[in-house]
């Protein structure tokens, strides 16, 4: 075998070893953290794969990814199911140390945080999050309802505080307010030319025509108009649109974009940025 061929074979062997090493460590991390999939029943023991390949990025207008940190399995299951029905990408951690670990490498648009957690308290998780310079919106969900507890949580860096038990209508409104604040939006309604997008009503219309958008298409449109006139990569869209346990790939994003284009017509133009992703722009007839 010639030297060039030997070099290629050696390089291929090294790449295969590194890929195997990464998968092995990913499985170990999954077992160690004991993550459960929010789409499975709380007592199923199913785990969420920690997506170590997910890109680290800021909230550039996207509002989709939420972390629930709650050791009460029944409540956590109810909350994650509720959020997922609304189309959000939701990850669930039941252990304080595991939550702190994932917050060290994964960016979220909202964190719902219990105070009394095993291995690390919600207060300590929040302190460490803020000490790393993250301004991620955090809402405390806890059975502690004393004024002192609320003051302590807000002083540590919480953005809101919701005592248990709570009504999901209030829960939804508070989540929308925090996510809207993070985007710098004063209203739930965004108007782009002839398109009127209402987050609270979960509706979109062009003129007087209501658009019928399934959850994923609605959230994809929300991501795109949140970055109107700016390019966004497929990887960023995927990180906001899908959970750790979803198997959807880049082809799924292309499928959703194609459906949106047909429904939006000329009201919004979704440009393909070759080799990168997409950019939404106001279409024909825009003010």
- Segment 104-125, tens digit of pLDDT: 998 898 999 999 999 999 999 9
Of the CATH numbers 3.40.109.10, 2.60.40.10, 3.30.2270.10, 3.40.50.2300, which one belongs to the domain with range 65-183? Answer: 3.40.50.2300
Q: Quickly count: other Cβ atoms within 10 Å of residue 209's Cβ.
A: 12
Domain boundaries, the chain: 65-183, 189-282
pLDDT tier, 215 (very low <50, low <70, confident <90, very high otherwise): confident
d(CA 126, CA 213): 36
What confidence score (pLDDT) does residue 54 get? 34
**What's the CA gap between 105 and 107, in Å, rounded?**
7
pLDDT band at 174 (very low <50, low <70, confident <90, very high): very high
Domain 189-282 has CATH 3.30.160.60: no
Question: What residues contact 159, with CB distance under 8 A and at least 6 apart?
Answer: 137, 138, 139, 178, 181
Neighbours of 77 (CB within 10 A): 21
Please give the pLDDT value at position 185.
64
At 38, list the tokens. Answer: 């929010």
Hunting for tokens 């958008």 — which residue is that? Answer: 213
Span of 30-39, 79-88, 94-103, 220-229 with lowest mean pLDDT: 30-39
pLDDT of residue 21: 40
Return all residues near 250 (Cβ < 8 A) that are at least 6 apart. Answer: 234, 238
pTM: 0.55
């Amino acid at each position: 075998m010639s030297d060039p061929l030997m070099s290629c074979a050696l390089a291929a062997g090294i790449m295969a070893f590194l890929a195997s090493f990464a998968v092995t460590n990913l499985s170990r991390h999954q077992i160690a953290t004991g993550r459960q999939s929010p789409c499975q029943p709380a007592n199923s023991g199913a785990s969420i794969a920690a997506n170590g390949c997910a890109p680290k990025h800021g909230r550039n207008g996207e509002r989709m990814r939420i972390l629930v940190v709650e050791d009460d399995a029944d409540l956590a299951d109810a909350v994650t199911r509720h959020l997922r029905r609304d189309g959000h990408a939701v990850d669930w951690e039941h252990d304080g140390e595991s939550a702190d670990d994932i917050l060290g490498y994964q960016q979220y648009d909202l964190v719902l945080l219990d105070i009394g957690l095993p291995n690390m308290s919600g207060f300590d998780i929040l302190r460490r999050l803020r000490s790393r310079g993250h301004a991620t919106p955090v809402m405390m969900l806890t059975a502690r309802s004393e004024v002192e507890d609320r003051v302590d949580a807000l002083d540590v860096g919480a953005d809101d505080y919701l005592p248990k038990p709570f009504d999901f209508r209030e829960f939804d409104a508070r989540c929308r307010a925090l996510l809207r604040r993070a985007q710098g939006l004063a209203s739930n309604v965004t108007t782009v030319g002839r398109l009127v997008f209402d987050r609270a009503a979960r509706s979109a219309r062009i003129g007087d025509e209501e658009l019928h958008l399934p959850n994923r298409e609605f959230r994809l449109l929300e991501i795109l108009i949140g970055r109107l006139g700016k390019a966004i990569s497929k990887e960023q869209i995927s990180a906001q649109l899908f959970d750790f346990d979803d198997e959807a790939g880049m082809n799924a994003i292309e499928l959703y974009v194609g459906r949106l284009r047909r429904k939006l017509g000329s009201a919004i133009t979704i440009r393909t940025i070759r080799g990168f992703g997409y950019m939404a722009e106001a279409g024909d007839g825009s003010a």
